[in-house]
Amino acid sequence: MGEKGEKRIVAKFGTNLLTAGTERLDLEVMATLVGQVARLHQLGLEVIIVSSGAIAAGRQKLGLSSERRDIPSRQVMAAVGQSALMHSYEQLFGWHGITVAQTLLTKGDLSDRLGYLNARNTLLALLELGVVPIVNENDAVAVDEIEGVAFGDNDNLSGMVANLVDADLLVLLGDVAGLYTTDPLKDKSARLIPRVDRIDAGIERLAGGTRGRGHGGMATKVQAAKLATASGAAVVIADGREHDIILRLVGGESIGTLFPAATSKMESRKRFLLAGLATRGRLVVDDGAVVALKEQNRSLLPAGIRAVAGDFQRGDVVDIVSERGRGGGESEKGEKIACGISNYSSWELALIKGARSDRIEALLGYGYGDEVVHRNNLVVL
């Protein structure tokens, strides 16, 4: 565990860092970064990597000039380069005895409730297995038709991933030391801002005006920081070429620009589950389930469900209410004790409620896991 208690870390590596400013992946740089992640892994921390570099690797393989920047060409290069990128990670992590997983996401997937749930479940399951997920945008299918979201912006993607997995810390590593008072490439008197407590319009303006090289400039980094800090993660923008940068940051050293978390993770999750997302249904649960959820931090299993109300899909938010009120009287029936994302739809639950989890597959012919609402997706009120 890091000195500040960080347990789950998202580390984003930008193209300029991975290529050391050249046209190809720099294996030495990658080995250094992988070595640090492996060290954290050995210490019991969970790390998710968001890695760029697919387009650069593909460009090199196809021998295409750096002039080719149109979206279709970049999609082709990314498709070719992604496997080369993963091949390098697989080898480098293999030396440390660590298994990696390729996770290609689009921002559209994550804006959709079901996509969000599936991606979250997969990433959390990978972490539980001790695997290091390596996320990149699924460039071959990603399009920039989603309003306000640009193609090929792994900064924002990493902010979404930090939110998705309830990360404690997001480190955005590129070849710029952090956020400066003015553009350091143009202005010699530019000063590094070590800490930003609130991302206000002034900071956003500053970031917009100090766009770094590559497309992951400061503007997108600050957007990512805004999302991640609002999700309860601390964020650091730093130069990935600094010696042992990730280890030192996790150790509490102040390097680069720190954006402290703007809220607690619990508060953020609560807000996410409660805000704007009308709950679609209600699960009435028995006393055993009430104790399991409220006192033992457990997941809700089908066995504890007595009744299902409403018409909802897998991925929708549902209220969980107790069968009996505190006093046990009829009039207090239906005290709301929690809410969370359901892994099963209302009609599936009608078939499996009351059943043991090992019966789910027999009853439905398929299953989405033992839990109806996993404790990771649950807020007890």
Q: Closest distance between ligand GLU and the C-beta of residue 208, in Å?
A: 17
Q: According to DSSP H, which parts of the chain are helical?
A: 15-18, 27-42, 54-62, 71-94, 107-111, 113-128, 154-164, 201-209, 218-230, 245-250, 265-274, 287-296, 346-352, 360-364
Beta bridge mates, 135: 50, 103
Q: Closest distance between ligand GLU and the C-beta of residue 91, in Å?
A: 18
- By C-beta, is 15 or 343 nearer to ligand GLU? 15
The C-alpha atoms of residue 108 and residue 367 are separated, in whole angstroms, by 25
Q: Which residues bind ligand GLU (CB under 6 A)?
A: 14-15, 52-56, 78, 136-137, 139, 152-154, 215-216
Mutual angle of helices 71-94 and 27-42, in 10-degree steps: 50
Q: Closest distance between ligand GLU and the C-beta of residue 23, in Å?
A: 12
Q: Closest distance between ligand GLU and the C-beta of residue 80, in Å?
A: 11
Is 82 within 8 Å of 136 (Cβ atoms)? yes
Nearest to 173 by CA among 105, 255, 94: 255
The C-alpha atoms of residue 319 and residue 335 are separated, in whole angstroms, by 10
Q: Closest distance between ligand GLU and the C-beta of residue 59, in Å?
A: 9
Q: Closest distance between ligand GLU and the C-beta of residue 364, in Å?
A: 37
- By C-beta, is 239 or 370 nearer to ligand GLU? 239
CB burial class (10 A; 0-12, 13-18, 19+) of residue 314?
Answer: middle
- By C-beta, is 144 or 287 nearer to ligand GLU? 144
Distances from the Cα of 306 to the Cα of 321, 324, 370, angstroms? 10, 11, 17
- By C-beta, is 62 or 337 nearer to ligand GLU? 62
Nearest to 43 by CA among 82, 77, 81, 9: 9
- By C-beta, is 11 or 300 nearer to ligand GLU? 11
- By C-beta, is 138 or 322 nearer to ligand GLU? 138
- By C-beta, is 161 or 261 nearer to ligand GLU? 161
Is 307 within 8 Å of 297 (Cβ atoms)? no
Q: Closest distance between ligand GLU and the C-beta of residue 37, in Å?
A: 18
Q: Closest distance between ligand GLU and the C-beta of residue 180, in Å?
A: 20
Is 160 within 8 Å of 170 (Cβ atoms)? no
- By C-beta, is 139 or 175 nearer to ligand GLU? 139
